[in-house]
Structure 1
Amino acid sequence: MGRVTVRDKVLRIRDGSASERVDTMVVEEPLEIRLDGSPLSITMRTPGHDFDLAAGFLVGEGVIARESDLVAIRYCAGATEDGSNTYNVLDVTLAAGVPVPDTSLERNFYTSSSCGLCGKASLDAVRTQAPWNVAGDGLRIGVDTLTALPDRLRAAQRVFDRTGGLHAAGLFTPEGELLALREDVGRHNAVDKLVGWALRSDRVPLADTVLMVSGRASFELVQKAWMAGIPMMAAVSAPSSLAVELAAEAGMTLVGFLRGSSMNVYAGRQRILLEGAPSAPPAATEGIRVPGR
């Protein structure tokens, strides 16, 4: 299996003084995903939980929606000239009757670790209708529970402690219990690995859960959450305008700048329980700010 980290010598400069030291870096390698032997996508990722990554990617693309849509995922042997396995090529076998997407016209399925939307032909191409209705989800979560999520996410990041170079995505219950966490050099990969874990555990749709991400809330992450049936997403940084628009369209709750005791609620405010009140006002498309107390 591929390594998650590597160590190498670096020149460290601090306050005008230079010294050599050994530093730990996160690994970034390509992963090719094939469907029934035919190439579908290449993504730059941190090795580990590759089967989850492939499954979650296919959920986000609308190829599969349930655990029963998958028959098998396996590494392809003989991926190099000498016949050895690089563990960088996966082949996914779909269940009978699950259509294989045609990538020849609308989309080039190449993604980098920094952008989950590279190769999209147009914005319309990513507005895939999700198979799950999250607008009517009865999830409610208190402000105090929400503000505790970033620290709980950070405390569970094992590889980040050694490298400082990984994004994280965590799935929480409304009570703040961490169900699962995945790390990756790419934000979208971390979410795909989390969704793939849920699908392979037959947990999709992920109703009554909260997705917490370590970076910003981008359009593609909101889309992935919607496709997995997640009604609420929170991020430590800012959302994009399209992320807010899509969350409102889907009926999701979107929280940004979740730091310390503060947050901004950009959509779906009805799911936020304010202290001393049953819930925030019901307008789901207008953001509110919860200041530090």
Structure 2
Amino acid sequence: MKPVTYVTNNLLSLSLATALLTGCAAAPKSPDGASNVRQQLTQLQADVQLAVLAPLAIKDAEQAVLLAEQPEKNTALAAHRVVMAERKVSMASTQAQTRQLELQRDALSQKRDDVRLSARTREAASARADASSARSDAEFARSQASDARADASSARLAESAAAGRETAALSAATTARQQAAVSAATTADLRAQIAELNARPTDRGLVVTLGDVLFDTGRANLKNGSSNHLNKLALFLNAYPERTAQIEGHTDDVGSDAANMLLSQRRADTVKAFLVQQGIAASRLDASGKGEAQPLVANVAAEARAQNRRVEVIIANTLE
């Protein structure tokens, strides 16, 4: 009986080793094409000008790429995930590029309107100058009629006075044109900067929304390369030192109320600290955390929660 048992044990050991080797050989690996999709997404995220224009679509693409990178024995399912990830990345890139073109189009439209306004201002100034010149001509004619009844000395004095009035009128017209040009240029510059910030006017002031692309999940430190939009905001606040800003942090409903309130406050404080480093006086900035209390949309899906994870900067004292 012992030899049989010995042989049986050897066969069982050999079968077990074969099964283990077969399992190791068949262990799933990252699907073909997943690394290429990851490279495409990384290139899109590295373009800071495009990344801030479609944060939700990029977030959706990131989730799809993570799913496509997971090892999967079912090759059809793995290929499907890679295709879906490629589509998500392509859609995010297209959305960002479309938004960039829309902003460029709006800027060109605003520039065209400003040029028209400047032309109308020049026309109005020219009309005022013509009217002033006509009045001066009439006064000069009356002065000449009076000079005809006076002696030569009185005529010379009247002519000199008329010339002085004409000079004053021309100077006033020049001043008016210069003031109109300065006002138009200031208004155009303000509008261009507002468009650059992608800000929206509200009853509280200009609201600049900074999406969750600034921070990693659950953290309050700025990501590397995420400060481009904050730099534009700092430039705007430095250009208009009379304006103050309210910085508000918001989260989704994942986690406890206390944790979300603390995280939103820390993120608002981080944005404030960045602006102070750029030369903005701390007295002009107020940072507060709102937690999950003020969502933009209901927290019913990942995309909705991504919209609610944000920092809003409300710029007061805006001009119409």
Task: Tell me which interval the TM-score lies in, with the shorter structure as reference length.
Answer: under 0.3
Larger of the two Rg values belongs to structure: 2
Higher strand share: 1
Question: Scaled by the length of structure 2, what TM-score is found?
Answer: 0.22
Structure with greater helix percent: 2
